[in-house]
Amino acid sequence: MDVVIRNANLADGQHGVDVAIEQGRIAAVGPRLPLQAAQEIDAAGDLLTAPFVDAHFHMDATLSYGLPRVNASGTLLEGIALWGELKPHLTQQALIERALQYCDWAVARGLLAIRSHVDICDDRLLAVEALLEVKRLVAPYLDLQLVAFPQDGVLRAPNALINLKRAIAMGVDVVGGIPHFERTMAEGAESVRILCEYAADQGLMVDMHCDESDDPLSRHIETLAYQSNRLGLHGRVAGSHLTSMHSMDNYYVSKLLPLIREAGVAAIANPLINITLQGRHDSYPKRRGMTRVPELLAAGIPVAFGHDCVMDPWYSLGSGDMLEVAHMGLHVAQMTGQDAMRECFRAVTATPAAILGLEGYGVAPGCHADLVLLDAADPVEAIRLRAARRLVMRRGKIIAESPRAHARLDLPGRPEHVNFRLGR
């Protein structure tokens, strides 16, 4: 064997497990494996997990905060306007450099798979070319999946549909959309039909920004589910944001949820950004804005959490830490039961991995040896502490390491120094 990790806890509740790795894949998982390896790692009862996965991000805009100016209102619409101001001044080199810097941040935090939307409304497709190059460069250590995203509306923006098809032909993976940003509700529904039919014809997945609004009558998720069902796209479609569902009446939602499940559509919430950008027209009480995560899960609909933005026109914060995303999602959705908190951990690991269709993901024999060892005993503690990543492994090779979180105290009146593990 190349590597054996000893005495690890797994996210499914197993304790004291050994994981053996050979030629970049997991060869065996079990207690006290009678194996020798060139390298042995003592997990010491810490949590060993498959890597974090971000199902919704905008890498073409990341780390551009303040360019060409700061979003003074902090609103979604000013962020979109700012991005429109910035696009004519973008260069491929700057896009690549910012994206690569973010990928470094991601890897250090155990985030090894990202689905990024890339704006295709610029006829030059500079961002598409840049992120395709980034995808090539980071492939040895990070899976980057790209969505052709018509930021200004596929029907509203000139040449957007042509550009989307050009982007797919260049190697972009997924068909995107933004129906609530079209000129009318009818054109929004028409955009969903056009894009889903194109995806069905090309054998592609679909991931649409859907109903990122406080308007309870923004119901494009219904149309997305209908088209998914009509075209047989089950398991290949995701609706991102779905924030209008937060404001919908309960009777309508009771009809909507079974339709989404029947259509095999997944949901992607973005806790940090949804609660920051939504509810801006409210005084008090002020709506949270995030979609109905517990209700979606109870209906059998897969729900992932995305980071969405990091230091860009829409959000001035963020660090690529999916445990921060899970932590916020847990609080906003009031998912504080033990099973619910574990579901929030799955929302940044196994669930988005399934939505992205990642091959060989998991901690089981035959899976890729892509692993993260966290300075925590279980998923709930990992979220509570936003635990340090003791090591990050890609195909059996360690690519990032961090020290465990310890503190040494020298307190007046105490007879001796105290060393303890923070938060444990």
Chain centroid offset of residue 169 CA: 25
Residue 167 Cα distances to 108, 220, 246, angstroms: 30, 24, 33
Does residue 42 contact residue 369 with C-beta atoms inside 8 Å?
no
Phi/psi of residue 347, nearest 5 degrees: -70, -10
Would you tell me the crossing angle of helices 126-138 and 160-170 to the nearest 10 degrees?
20
Question: What is the spatial distance between Cα 200 and Cα 340, in angstroms, rounded to a whole number?
Answer: 34
What is the identity of the amino acid at 291?
T
Q: Which two tokens stand for residue 227?
A: 């088209």
Largest CA distance in the chain: 74
Rg of the chain on CA atoms, in Å: 22
Query: Can you tell me whether residue 243 is helix, strand or coil?
Result: helix
Catalytic residue annotation: 212
Instruction: Count other C-beta atoms under 10 Å from residue 285's C-beta.
Output: 7
CB 115 within 8 A of CB 56: yes
Contact of 35 with 1, CB cutoff 8 Å = yes
CA distances to 111, 372, 390 from 399, in Å: 12, 10, 11
